[in-house]
Structure 1
Amino acid sequence: MTTPTTKATAEPGTSPGTAGFKDTAARTVRNACGAVAQLVGGLGTAGPAFVLLLWTALSVVTAPLGVGLLLALPVPRALHALAARERRRLARHGTEVVAPQPPPVRLRPALADPTTRRELRWLLRHATLGLLLGMLGWYLPLSAFRDSVFPLVWPVVPADATSTSLGFGVAHTWPEAAAVALLGLGWIAVVLGLFPAMARLQSSPGRRLLTAGPGTDLSLRIAELTATRAAALDAHATELRRIERSLHDGAQNRIVTVAVLIGAARRRVARDPDGAGDLLERAQQAAEQALAELRAVSRSILPPVLADHGLAGALSGLAAGCAVPCRVDVEVPERCAASVEATAYFVVAEALTNIAKHSGASRAVVTARGGGGRLRLRIEDDGRGGVDEDGGSGLVGIRRRVAAHDGTLTVAGPPGGPTVLEVDLPCGS
């Protein structure tokens, strides 16, 4: 079995070596930017983890006095909630972390639970090493920027101000200011070279300790995947029925009409050429209508615009054809699987159709973001809200399409608006 490969082609006038260097540099910068986002995002759980660790330590120290038991009562629930939040964060930046069955929240059963003990080990590491790495992920890029641009602002900096981000040194001459800029370039090299490894180091305790351990009962996850597969098969069958109905009621009837008109024209051509010409003209019109309907059906299966212009071009085309003024903001660095892009296209198409028909909105915004193996969509309008999934709004079909890819759909549409639809899809096949 062979694995297909993709060959990169250089632009005209660019040598293969130069093109390869540009690709490597662009990939390095993308990886570093993703690592910065991951490290800084880790502060969202590392900070609360540090607070929870101090609370847990305080409850242990004061346990002999009896106060510690009261302080420890909310710890299991807070620990499980924070661990679930970390699993969601890790899933946004890579593969999904499969959660075990919900552990107990009462203190005594939680202390004897293996999942709780694994989460406590994660808490200790993430509240210390994870917090440190997150702070470095926030501080070093700022230091790199500050030191790199220091020669540009050096003349207006107070004479007694610290020159470097390390907190020492005062530049009095241009060579000293240039030395500070060299330090900034060193920080940039650290960010580009070490940050991806630092991001992996920050996330490794969560991926190792927060996942379902060996021997864990995964019946809930199996039931969820079984339901997802059933939804995918149901969505596939519904799509096949829609295509069959479209072909039977539309193109097939048009083609039968063409055949009937051509047969009538053949019988009339000898005795009434003008009448035969009219019949042939009607047959041509029917054939053109049949072709248009066939094109519409083919586009509904897999829109060619996705292959020709990618997801950004396809969503821009949908926004241009929407009756409500719509703004599109797409930032997807890499192509997703064709089935995922098609699902994203149909989700946005159905959502914009609902906005135009039911919302009474004056504007809509479609946002698509890709990264960390995920594709996230957000469709928002300023309409009247009051979304009802059971009211024929098409949300049931959208939910089935998303579930077929093991994605998630979140809808918020309170009466009075705004309505926000968020979709999170894995980018894999």
Structure 2
Amino acid sequence: MSTERSSVRAALGRAASRGLTGLEQLIGGFGTAVVALLLLMVIVVTAVASLAGVGLLAVPVVARTVRSLANRERHRLARYDVDLPELDPPTRGVRGALADLSLRRELGWIAVHATLGFLIGLIGVLLPLFALRDLTFFLWWWIGPETPSTTSIGIGHVDSPFEALWATLLGVGWVALIIGVVPNIARVQSWPARKLLVPDPSVDLSMRVAELTSTRAAALDAHAVELRRIERALHDGSQNRLVAVNVLLGAARRALTRNPDEAEAILARAQDAAETALAELRAVARSILPPVLADRGLAGALTGLASASAVPCEAEIDVSGRCAASVEATAYFVVAEALTNVAKHSGAQQARVTAALRGGKLLVEITDDGHGGANAENGSGLDGIRRRIEAYDGVLRLDSPKGGPTILAVELPCGS
């Protein structure tokens, strides 16, 4: 019985939360609808004045204002999981504004939102006022019952406590309406934006081409950087060790005829140098694709990095499936590089690594309580991490205010 009551309370809580969210969305839409209504009047005046040539001077300004309001609406709806990418300001000049296909769609949204969106938003403004008035009706009627009173929608005169109680029940009905119907009304209000504020298909395609060109360049840069790193590791480490082995073997060969005891000592040194070279070659090979990923999976590999961190580090890994090997390797190196930076530069006392698979994306976050001030500008180690992530169409977000904490969040598409 207690379980059923808990389930009912949880369901009511979720419904109330959706109702309040819908109400907030309606009221916010009412605010942009008021601005859209004023802007629609300006657009009409500008269009009429343009017939005489005078209004053409105002077209670029009006176009930028329309784009600004549309971007504001896109940003507002993003809080309610409506993904509408913001657009850059339209090209300057009358021709550029008139040729902007997305701007034409935004003008259509202005017309619909200034009328239909305004009326629907007005419902969102009035409903809580009606609910508050009728829920408290009995109280303020009791204070002054001699004054003729009506409900929020003006139904009848209330002359007795019994009638006042029924008016209070009307307030309960308004609350039920907010909880049950308002979320759907909010979706109706946002429908024109979801249809008209998406970028024009041709614009979206060109943006995608530019994005892919950029990520392709980032992939090539990351590949070149990785090759240079491997080349330096081989040249400065293993190659020098092998040269030393060759020199020692030549010296041992010459010493065999003159001093066999000395030759044995030289051969021992050559063996040590060869073992060191082998160890460095293994380290370079592991840096290309860490074997721990194949042995323990990404969860085990990240947990190992956290436990080996110079700064005490907690790990919370929720990665049950597998991603592409290259994506896992990128996530591994991002965490390894981030924890190295934390140990060297942050002055942190505690760090935390979280990773999870959500919606086909690998989400990784590294947090520390250091002094902050990190940046991902050109030339920094974080800039190299960013380029490597962008090569996979990933996203890096860095939040590092002065005084800390620093949060490095990475989002990688988890392809197979």
Decide: shared fold, TM above 0.5. Answer: yes
Tell me which residue corresponds to 1:264. 251
SS of the aligned residue for 1:361 comes to: coil
**How far apart are 1:427 and its partner, in Å?**
0.9
Greater helix fraction, Structure 1 or Structure 2: 2
Cα distance in structure 2, aligned partners of 1:258 and 1:63: 80
Shift of the 101–218 alpha-carbon distance from structure 1 to 2, 3 Å rule, reads farther
Q: What CA RMSD, in Å, does the superposition of the two structures yield over aligned residues?
A: 4.3
Measured after TM superposition, the shift of residue 103 of structure 1 is 7.7
2:231 is equivalent to residue 244 of structure 1:
yes
Q: CA 1:267 to 1:41, structure 2 compared with 1: closer, same or farther past 3 Å?
A: farther
Cα shift readout 1:46-95 (whole Å, capped 9, x = no counterpart): 665444555677889999999xx9xx999634422235556xx57xxxxx
Q: Secondary structure at the match of 1:346?
A: helix
**Aligned pairs (5 A) from 1:246-395:** 246-390=233-377, 393-395=380-382
Q: 1:241 to 1:315 in 2, by over 3 A?
A: same
1:377-411 CA distances to partner (integer Å, 9 max, x unpaired)? 11111111111434964111111111111111111
CA distance in 2, matches of 1:419, 1:379: 8
Contact 1:101 1:220 in 2 (8 A): no
Deviation at 1:259, TM superposition (A): 2.0
**Count of residue pairs the alignment pairs up:** 299
Note the C-alpha offset of 1:303. 0.7
Structure 1 residues 44 and 79, CA gap change in structure 2 (3 angstroms): farther
Q: Which residue of 400, 404, 407 corresponds with 1:417?
A: 404
Q: Give me the whole-angstrom Cα distance separating, in 2, the residues matched to 1:302 and 1:358.
A: 26
Residue equivalent to 1:113 = 104
How far off is 1:317 after superposition? 1.6
Q: Do the aligned residues in 2 keep the contact of 1:261 with 1:282 (CA within 8 Å)?
A: yes
Distance 1:114 1:278, change over 3 A: same
Cα offsets for 1:79-123 (capped at 9, x unmatched): 22235556xx57xxxxxx78484587xxx99997325757979x9
Identity among equivalent pairs (%): 54
SS class of match (1:339): helix
Matched, 1:79 2:73: yes
Contact kept, 8 Å, 1:100 with 1:217, in 2: the verdict is no
Kept in 2: contact 1:258–1:287 (CA 8 A)? yes
Whole-angstrom CA distance in 2 between matches of 1:346 and 1:80: 35
CA distance in 1, matches of 2:248, 2:39: 93
Look up the match of 1:9: none
Please state how far the C-alpha of 1:262 moved relative to its aligned partner.
2.1
Question: In the TM superposition, what are the counterparts of 1:52-91 in structure 2 within 5 Å?
Answer: 52=28, 76-84=70-78, 89=81
State the alpha-carbon separation in 1 of the partners of residues 297 and 366 from structure 2.
Answer: 19
Letter in 2 for 1:367: T
Greater alpha carbon shift after TM alignment, 204-213 vs 76-85:
204-213
Letter matched to residue 236 of structure 2:
D
CA distance in 2, matches of 1:290, 1:278: 19
Alignment of 1:215-234 (within 5 A): 215-216=202-203, 218-234=205-221
- Alpha carbons of 1:345 and 1:365: their partners in 2 closer, same or farther (altered >3 Å)? same
Determine helix, strand or coil for the equivalent of 1:292.
helix
Deviates more, 1:253-262 or 1:207-216: 207-216
1: CA distance between counterparts of 2:40 and 2:302? 63
Structure 1 pair 236/261, CA: closer, same or farther in 2 (3 Å)?
same
SS in 2 for 1:113: helix
Unaligned runs of 5+ residues in structure 1 are 1-38, 91-96, 128-203
Name which one, 1 or 2, has greater alpha-carbon Rg: 2
What pairs with 1:136-147 in structure 2 (closer than 5 Å)? none
| Structure 2 CA distance for partners of 1:301 and 1:117, relative to 1, 3 Å | farther
Measured against aligned partners, the alpha-carbon deviations of 1:174-200 in whole angstroms (never above 9, x if no partner) come to xxxxxxxxxxxxxxxxxxxxxxxxxxx
Q: Which residue matches 1:406?
A: 393
Q: Which amino acid aligns with 2:326?
A: S
Distance 1:314-1:42 versus aligned 2 partners, 3 A rule: farther
Deviations 1:252-305 (A, max 9, x none): 111121122223223333443321211111111101100111111111111111
Distance across 2 between alignment mates of 1:401 and 1:235: 5
* In 2: Cα distance, 1:232 partner to 1:215 partner: 25
Cα deviation for residue 424 of structure 1 reads 1.2
Task: Note closer, same or farther for the CA distance 1:278–1:415 as it changes in structure 2 (3 Å cut).
Answer: same
Contact 2:233 2:284 in 1 (8 A): yes
Shift of 1:209: 7.2
User: Aligned in 2, Cα 1:54/1:98: closer, same or farther, shift over 3 Å?
Assistant: closer
